[in-house]
Chains A and B, each alone.
Chain A
Amino acid sequence: MKKIILAAALAALSSPALAASTDAGKYQVVLGDCEGCHGKNLAGGVVLTTPFGKMVTPNITPDKDTGIGNYSAEDFRQAMKAGLAPGGKLLYPAMPYPSYARMSDGDVAALWGYLKTVKPVKNQVNVNQLRFPFNLRFAMRGWNMLFFAPAPYANNPAKSAAWNRGAYLVSGAGHCGACHTPKNAFGADKATALTGAALQGWFAPDLTSDAGAGLGSWSQADIVEYLQTGRNNRSMASGPMAEAVENSTSKMTDADLKAIAVYLKDLPASRGNGGGATGIEAQMKSGAVLYDISCAACHDRNGKGSLIFPPLAGNPTVRQVRADSIVRMVLAGGKGAATAKAPTGPGMPSFAWRLSDNQVADILTYVRNNWGNRAPAVSPETVGRIRSSLHGS
């Protein structure tokens, strides 16, 4: 069995035979989660909020006027791997070309082969709504010089085929780092890959093997189950990750999910989440009372959760260095992924109407430092800031 998986992984990694088939190209859409930004019909128009202003995703259907119907295969390859559109127009790295640059030419060609067959949709999009000076596209030339070193994925002969396939997917088409890798002031990846990052009002968790914030306690099977169904016994995807699970990871092959798990489990532990908080006795006491009346019925008195209610004890989402995601979930509510294997897509109600900033801070400090969890305290100011940013958007 293992041999078959390895063989399949190798075949998928370098197979010009598959490149022509649109099925293979369609699978690249899954791997790259194109729908996540370009919409279900790939006609774009999805608004992305970045620290530099708003961007609207372009139409990538083969419509000749408003899509990419006039692209050649080489034009497409340049856009995917060099961030260059026809006519020398520079793309913004919100399109994750720094990741896609690692894809094989065969996979990019397969993707192009499929995109040509998609139904053309007429949808004119005004992509660039960034603030000055970020709206000046030529500035991306400097950005590329500083931060973009395109290099196809290089096989690591010291590692297994599955590991290499996992690394190829995570760093390439899957562009996991787009959310999970911390960014510098210019929005470029820092060297601390996949150690967790704040974006769009969420905190994408640490994916390294750190025992506190990362996936240190997860097995490979846990990771596969999470990516396939959107949940496992330790956590549940929500927000942008729930979308990524629905559009992308739940549709990946078992072999690819296993490969991703193999690779992630081999990432060295990050520096952690800053550890537990001290001097929080008052918050813990108040948090315990509030947890009992607002949270315990679903998440369980001992934070163990159940099938459709995620556990809080040992849940990495709860233990990140920043609490943005869980503050947001308490205030606005949350929505899990609905996948073929877990179709419910359970939701959490909003508590913004009922809990004050102080109460949310107390509950979350309690949750982050109870049942074996250790993470920094949450302040009412943080909750207030997130509350007003959510209502402002």
Chain B
Amino acid sequence: MIALELALKLAANKNRIAGVDFMQHDPRALSRRRLLASVAAVPILAASADGRTISGELPWSPFAGEPPRPVNPLGWYFFTPGEAATVEAIVDRFIPGDHLSPGGKDSGCAVFIDRQLAGSFGQSSRLYTKGPFMPGLPTQGYQGDLTPAGRYRLGLWALNDYTNTTYKKDFRALGIDQQDAVLGGLDGGKIKLKLKPGFSTKEFFELMLQNTMEGFFADPLYGGNKNMASWKMIGFPGARYDYRDHIDKHNQPYPKGPVSIYGQV
């Protein structure tokens, strides 16, 4: 505990030296001038005395915090009703319901993907997305001009275009075996959808699979993982944060169920 107190003090002092404050609303918030001035001061501080007491305390204000906002579970924000039904059919094939857990649809994976596409992920708002668009290595991820929202819109249209050409049906109207065959074809390279150069069918498949897993395992507040079903299935304790009573209990299952960020048990 003394170590913790020291760490907190250190953190407070470091922030003070750097002129950085935790709170955005703090009137002493970092300015360019202040940063430059304090950076200039650091070498002087470091060079001068052997020991120096820098006093100060952790900034604090009532009701502080920027908790993630739970999504509204009703309706669709990005998908058209047809797209939503297609995605629900796809996530239910990626994660079929069985005795271990509910399926992808009932777990809310399609809702999760819809909310992500309607938000900053869907718009790539944290990424540089202007040209020039050059081919990249697989490890560099998608390099084209489409946002994730654009890739879903195009991909889902192309998927139904393919099934209508081949089976005269939308994907969601296919039997389970046919759906599995189509998804297997997207994954294995047997099916080429009418996408864009730089956006392969395999990439579309992997994008959907990745987002489905994220929805299945993310905190329920994001719309998927309803009732923490996936965490219960794998024994993940969720947002619990104190395991001191169990540190010494080796090779024993953790006895407590999961907790969500919003304290659902």
Query: Which residues does A use to contact B, with CB under 8 Å?
Result: 289-290, 293-294, 296-297, 301, 306-308, 331-333, 335, 338, 343-347, 349-350, 352-355, 359, 390
Number of interface residues of B (CB under 8 A): 24
Chain B interfacial positions (CB closer than 8 Å to A): 1-2, 4-5, 8-9, 55, 57-58, 60, 62-65, 67, 240-242, 245, 259, 261-263, 265
Which listed residue (B58, B62, B241, B259) contacts A332, Cβ 8 A? B62
Residues of A within 8 A of B8 (CB): 308, 344, 346
9 interchain residue pairs of minimum CB distance? A297-B242, A345-B57, A332-B62, A347-B60, A338-B57, A353-B67, A335-B60, A307-B1, A306-B1
Q: What residues on A are CB-neighbors of B55 within 8 Å?
A: 343
Smallest distance from the beta carbon of B67 to chain A beta carbons, Å?
A: 4
Given contacts A344-B58, A346-B5, A353-B67, 6 further A-B pairs with CB under 8 A are A297-B241, A308-B8, A332-B62, A333-B62, A345-B57, A349-B64
Taking a contact as CB atoms under 8 Å apart, the answer to whether B245 and A350 are in contact is no
Across-interface contacts of B65 in A (CB, < 8 A): 349-350, 353
Q: Is the CB of A290 within 8 A of B263?
A: yes
Task: Give the chain B neighbours of A290 by CB distance below 8 A.
Answer: 263
In the complex formed, the residue of A with least CB distance to B256 is A292
Cβ-neighbour of B64 out of A297, A333, A345 (below 8 A):
A333
* Residues of chain A contacted by B62 (CB below 8 angstroms): 332-333, 350, 390
Is there contact, CB below 8 Å, between A308 and B5? Answer: yes
Contact A359 B63 (CB under 8 A): no
Instruction: For A297, give the chain B residue with the smallest CB separation.
Output: B242
Which chain B residues border A332 with CB–CB below 8 Å? 62-63
Per a CB cutoff under 8 Å, which of B9, B64, B245, B263 touches A354? B263
A343 touches B64 (CB 8 A): no
A289→B240 CA distance, assembly (Å): 12
Q: Is the CB of B1 within 8 A of A294?
A: no
- Assess whether A344 is in contact with B9, with CB atoms less than 8 Å apart: yes
Q: A338-B57, A344-B57, A345-B58 are in contact. Are A352 and B63 (CB under 8 A)?
A: yes
Which residue of chain A is the closest to B53 with respect to CB atoms?
A343
Complexed CA–CA distance, A331 and B64 (Å): 10
| Given A289-B265, A338-B57, A343-B57, residue A307 in contact with residue B63 (CB < 8 A) | no
- Bound together, the chains give a CA A338 to CA B57 distance in angstroms of 7
Q: Can you list 5 contacts pairing A with B, beta carbon distance less than 8 Å?
A: A308-B4, A331-B63, A338-B57, A345-B58, A353-B67
- Give A333 to B63 CA distance when docked, in angstroms: 6
> Whole-angstrom distance between the alpha carbons of A296 and B4 in the complex?
17
| Nearest B residue (CB) for A290 | B263
Closest chain B CB from A2 CB (angstroms)? 33
